[in-house]
Amino acid sequence: MARTYRLGKRAVKMAATRQRMVEAAYALLCRDGLGGLSLDDVAAAAGVGRTTVFLQFESRSGLLRALEAHVSERAGVNALRGELSQADAVGALRAAFEIGCGVWAAERVAFRQLFSLAAIDPELRAVMQEKDAVRRTLIRALVRGLGQQGRLQGTPQRARDLLLVLTSFDTFETLYLERGSVASASKLLVDVCESLLLRV
């Protein structure tokens, strides 16, 4: 019994240490960008040894994957995924922008750093490509739902291509900077999508 208790305490301590390292990486990302995302930098910021970081994440790629998941979770991506799975495909389409823009906005600085740095960092690029693959899967499901409910205008491929562009971080940020509000950016995107994708 005592051994189980000790193992439980150890697991809790390890989880807390892991969380501290991820939060240290997040702070470095927002402050220093790529320059602060080495295992040594994260270890120093978290107050642990480099070996501890390696044991938790196995590689810098593992750390970057955990960091991206942390940013997405802070932004509210789980709530977005829940809305996208609703039975009403048109409602899911609207949520993709109304909630999706809020997700991008909630961690705009961190997402900007992740996407920008992915252009020059192969390990981070692979992580962000995995994230984009999930977005493509959600888009396919959304388009399939619109088609099954008789609401899709045009071909599924056209719809997927349009949604790929319109749901991207770059599209959101361009509109957000131009219009100055998340609500205005998301409303325009909903209007554009409904006019281009939905059968009346």
Task: Map out the domains of the chain as residue ranges.
Answer: 2-58, 71-197
Interatomic CA distance for residues 191 and 197, integer angstroms: 10
133-165 pLDDT, tens digit each? 999 999 999 999 999 999 999 999 999 999 999
Q: Which fold has domain 71-197?
A: Tetracycline Repressor; domain 2 (1.10.357)
pLDDT at 52 over 80: yes
Global pTM reads 0.88
Helix (H, G, I), strand (E, B) or coil at 75: helix
Q: Which fold has domain 2-58?
A: Arc Repressor Mutant, subunit A (1.10.10)
Average pLDDT for 13-20? 90
Sign of CA dihedral 162, 83, 136, 116: positive
For 55, other C-beta atoms within 10 Å of its C-beta total 13
* Tokens of residue 73, six digits: 């979770």
Q: How far is CA 64 from CA 72, 92, 123, in A?
A: 12, 30, 8
Average pLDDT for 51-65? 92
Instruction: Report which of 168, 163, 160 is spatially closest to residue 101, judged by C-alpha positions.
Output: 168
